């Protein structure tokens, strides 16, 4: 159930950005495009609901970090906040 909340929250944000024609940064797109395997390797998680939650958190963090140069910078900040 938790992953549905994160997905819904994330989806609403993306739809809002599209409606306002707000540019989605390359870093946000990269976070959205991270494979389950990459996130599983980085986190050690194997359950899809955990992987999806982490991806949603990374995208949210990327949205909060408009000056981030790469998804790896977002990942480093994510680790600091854990």
Confidence of residue 7 (pLDDT cuts 50, 70, 90): low
- The confidence score (pLDDT) of residue 10 equals 64
Residue 23 DSSP symbol:
P
**Per the structure block, which two tokens stand in for 35?**
């494979």
- Whether the CA torsion 53, 59, 62, 63 is positive or negative: it is negative
The conformational region for residue 21 under phi > 0 = left, psi -120 to 50 = alpha, else beta, is left
The whole-number pLDDT of residue 18 equals 54
Is the model more confident about 12 or about 30?
30
**What mean pLDDT is predicted for residues 23-31?**
86
Q: What are the angstrom distances between the C-alpha of 45 and each of 12, 25, 63?
A: 26, 27, 23
């Amino acid at each position: 159930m938790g992953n549905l909340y994160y997905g819904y929250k994330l989806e609403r944000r993306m739809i809002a950005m599209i409606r306002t024609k707000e540019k989605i940064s390359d870093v946000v797109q990269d976070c959205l495009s991270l494979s389950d395997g990459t996130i599983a390797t980085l986190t050690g998680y194997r359950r899809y609901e955990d992987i999806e939650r982490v991806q949603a958190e990374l995208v949210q963090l990327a949205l909060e970090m408009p000056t981030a140069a790469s998804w790896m910078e977002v990942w480093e900040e994510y680790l600091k906040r854990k």
